[in-house]
Amino acid sequence: MEVFTVMWREFIFFKRRIGKITSTAIMTPILYLIAFGWGLGRDVIIEGSSYMHFIIPGIIALSTMNTSFNAVAMRINISKLHEKSFEYYLTSPVRMPLMALGHILSGALRGMYAATLIILVSYLFGIKINIDSYFILICFLNSFLFSAFGYGAALSIDSHYDMNRFTTYIMTPMSFLCGTFFSLNNLPLMIKKIISVLPLSHASISLRNIVLKGEFDYKSIIVLFTYSIIFYCFGVYMSFREMK
């Protein structure tokens, strides 16, 4: 019951601000497509495909990461530090694992919404990509794990400024290094191995292989699912810590 209550509350929030949320979700991807796809990569062929086809799966992975993370992190951050409303959850007779799951699923669905918008925008750019059940699963797992990470991150900080550290030192480096805009094959072996461990790398490469090659590696599902469990447990742990 707690899961659906939280999700319904977040749905009401989403419905009231759908215009602003939609414009925010598509603005950055459109700029990426114009700048990198049309501007720099119009005549570029990479891994046997046009750069526009190459970059769209990466942008989808990037957008699901950022949207799901920010959707939860900002909401929890504001309710905890500014509105002081998160305390009501902690003092109410709710089960923390279910409350956390409700927030995280809400953020994951926001990530899926962003992915849907990017796919529609890509059609406007004349780029059609193949979507199957594996593609949807990867998008959801990527959204879920970063939503869970945003939930735990928001509960672990004590000021608004601390949230910028997660963005600066974790989210931004992954955005540019995890194969979103370029192939990892050209990187030095050691750096490639380090980057390949990160969840966004698995999401970007998996989505790209599905779209461009029709191939799928089950290892990516295992890795993303493992990250999802770890970050979910981290969020639940931080919820219980807030109660003390």
The per-residue pLDDT for range 26-56, each reduced to its tens digit, is 888 888 888 776 666 566 777 777 888 888 9
Radius of gyration of the chain (CA): 18
Residue-range domain boundaries for the chain? 2-243
% of the chain beyond a pLDDT of 90? 41
**And the tokens for 109?**
């669905």
How many angstroms separate the Cα of 209 from the Cα of each of 38, 50, 229?
22, 14, 24
CA distance 142 to 125: 25
pLDDT 10s digits, 149-196 = 999 998 888 776 777 888 888 999 999 889 888 888 888 889 889 999
Pair 51, 140: CB distance under 8 Å: no
CA distance 84 to 227: 30
Handedness of CA 17, 20, 21, 22 (dihedral sign): positive
**And the tokens for 1?**
């019951």
**When comparing pLDDT for 40 and 70, which is higher?**
70
In which element (H, E) is residue 113 found?
A: helix 96-124
CA distance 164 to 156: 13
Torsion (CA) 10, 11, 17, 18 in degrees, nearest 10? 140
- Residue 172: CB atoms within 10 A of its CB come to 12
Torsion (CA) 98, 230, 162, 173 in degrees, nearest 10? -130
Pair 112, 64: CB distance under 8 Å: yes
Please give the model's pTM, rounded to 2 decimal places: 0.91
- Residue 159: CB atoms within 10 A of its CB come to 9
Pair 119, 131: CB distance under 8 Å: yes
pLDDT 10s digits, 206-219 = 999 999 888 888 89
